Chains A and B, each alone.
Chain A
């Protein structure tokens, strides 16, 4: 059974929110979490424009985090005297990670394809049609017609539990030939935390 998560938009800077959640985790041990700070884990948040506006103090500081639904009561209880507030919280209905890659080295292409052919437990790959193209005439050096004799391309998306998807994103984003988007969220009803 997949752990249900809630996206909480905290009012506060990321360092304070991180400390708040870390302290909570330290007190509650394995019963708490795992939680994920969005901007550290490649999870979509309000984006760069909002970050810029925060930096120039035109809007309040927001920090997005995904927290297991079971831990909301603990979060609410601890908020009291910390100075950190909650702007909004919503149930996470769907998580999706889109990727695209282009590679001209056979060995590396095999490594990349293995990642998507055998995703980690719980992660499913959708809309993925890898395409390998060979053009023997393009082997060797070219000056003005730089075609590759081997090309491997693919694009698609991955779905799965939050923890598995976050870890999968970290793994594939370490290969620079793979262009990975932030994990996008489909949010459901607002959750009251009090």
Chain B
């Protein structure tokens, strides 16, 4: 058999990622032959250097490096990665930060401090809060994995995902789904469609659902914007995927032997329901921070954080602590809850947020930055949908969202302050001669969230679900098996139809 299965898979994954990135570059290069460099032209007078017009393209190498590390190490060397990922993250952060600090001194320090304080810290607090609260809710009971029961379980998970996060919903629902289907011979597809819907598509309606949307919220996109602007897309895509799932599950179910009569049935019940109060508290805190203005608070280096955001973060921490204190240990053990996933997010996103600085600055500079060719090539909502989506399939979708969010601002509103541009991008503010960007933002949001389902490495809960299923004895498909048997024939086709109808 020659090369081991894992090595063969790794080589194939690496090849595909390289080809995808190369294809994106070629695509982006189209029409950019006349790209000119306008370094320094758009420098903001009186606000220090405009880093986006000065930084060279190669300054994004550490950002690409950390994203590729996250994508490839779990396949290439899972145990090395498991033990050393903080060092890898630190490595890429330092590769960028040291020369950046030497070259730009206080401006660089300001940039790093700004993104860590205003993006990284609230991001971790929200994910930690949601994960802790969701980890206290346990679904028990003897389900029998018939097509209708599976449909209902996956639908519940899909509906939960936008409110407790895709990770939380996946954690709460995957074990009941596996228990319900343990008697079946063929139920790999149930887990795969669970990944499609619960771990990805279901999270598209609120900033709580999926990390990319929370990053959008932190950058000024209102809480209900996605609910009001992509809910029809979500409904359409989820309904189509569920319909395919039901047909497929019915087909396989009919080939199964009759279910065994295994005696006493455990009644269906949900425990730890008091955590819904804390979940309501988190939702309320996030909503509060979007609606109230408590004024700005200086947090050092001339950076201001708004009072309502500080209040929100403190309240979310309080909700997490309250959940931790009031939830029985046995419930968390039933969910195999640990701090591990939050530590992973903290370590890796510290690296991501540090290294993303040049990419965001260059993209915000629009046609005056080193990624002008990308700005020119990705120039309509459909292209934003696919560019964000395809990259989100192979790289983490949160930084990908932020990258294209900034690309759209750089393209549509060059030189405009972000808080002002986001109003136009949402379509909430309109003005003569200024583009309404809401179709762009809808395309970026849908692309980032939906297409995280295209591969195992598109979204973090995909890997979590795969690992839990494999440990339960489910023969999950390989990286390419998942794509060739499921995501390409089902999801890509549905996304094309979605684009033709909605984008």
Contact = CB atoms under 8 A, between A and B. Distances in A.
A118 interface: no
B489 interface: no
Contacts of A143: 167, 341, 344-345, 460-461, 463-464
A113 interface: no
Contacts of A146: 74, 78, 463-464, 466-467
A142 B5 contact: no
DSSP class of B's interface residues: helix, strand, loop or mixed?
helix
Interface in B68-93: 70, 74, 78-79, 81-83, 85
Interface in A112-162: 135, 137-138, 140-150, 155
Interface stretch (A19-27, A84-92, A175-183): A175-183
A148 B345 CA distance: 18
A134 to B, nearest CB: 11
Interface in B419-440: none
Contacts of B473: 103, 105, 107-108, 177
Interface string B166-183: 010001000000000000
Nearest to A181: B1
Contacts of B48: none
Contacts of A177: 473, 475
Given A108-B473, A137-B82, A140-B336, A145 B5 contact: no
Interface in B222-279: none
At the interface, is chain A mostly helix, strand, loop or mixed?
loop
A144 B348 contact: yes
B340 interface: yes
A74 B262 CA distance: 52
Given A145-B82, A146-B78, A140 B348 contact: no
Contacts of B475: 176-177
A147 B84 CA distance: 12
A143 to B, nearest CB: 4
Contacts of B466: 146
A104 interface: yes
A9 to B, nearest CB: 26
A173 interface: no
Nearest to B459: A143
B464 A141 contact: yes
B472 interface: yes
Contact of B78 (A98, A107, A147): A147
B5 A179 contact: yes
Contacts of B85: 144-145
A142 B341 contact: yes
Contacts of A108: 473
A148 B78 CA distance: 8
A105 B345 contact: no
A144 B78 contact: no
B79 A142 contact: no
B470 interface: yes
B488 interface: no
Nearest to B167: A143
B340 A140 contact: yes
B336 A147 contact: no
B471 A104 contact: yes
A102 interface: yes
A105 B468 CA distance: 10
Nearest to A179: B5
Contacts of A61: none
Contacts of B472: 105
Contact of A141 (B4, B468, B470): B468
Interface string B459-503: 011011011101111010000000000000000000000000000
A138 B467 CA distance: 11
A105 B466 CA distance: 13
Nearest to B342: A143
Contacts of A147: 74, 78-79, 81-82
A194 to B, nearest CB: 39
B69 to A, nearest CB: 10
B324 interface: no
Contact of B340 (A103, A142, A181): A142
Nearest to A157: B1
A100 B3 CA distance: 11
A131 to B, nearest CB: 11
B142 interface: no
Nearest to A144: B344
Given A105-B470, A107-B473, A146-B74, A141 B341 contact: yes
A145 B470 contact: no
Contact of A145 (B74, B167, B188): B74
Interface in B326-365: 336-338, 340-341, 344-345, 348
29 contacts: A100-B1, A102-B5, A105-B470, A105-B471, A105-B472, A137-B82, A138-B82, A140-B340, A141-B337, A141-B464, A141-B467, A142-B344, A143-B167, A143-B341, A143-B345, A144-B341, A144-B348, A145-B78, A145-B82, A146-B78, A146-B463, A146-B464, A146-B467, A147-B78, A147-B82, A149-B471, A155-B1, A155-B4, A179-B1
Given A144-B463, A145-B344, 13 more contacts: A107-B473, A140-B336, A141-B340, A141-B467, A141-B468, A142-B463, A144-B70, A144-B345, A146-B463, A147-B82, A148-B470, A150-B471, A155-B4
Interface of A: 98, 100, 102-105, 107-108, 135, 137-138, 140-150, 155, 176-177, 179, 181
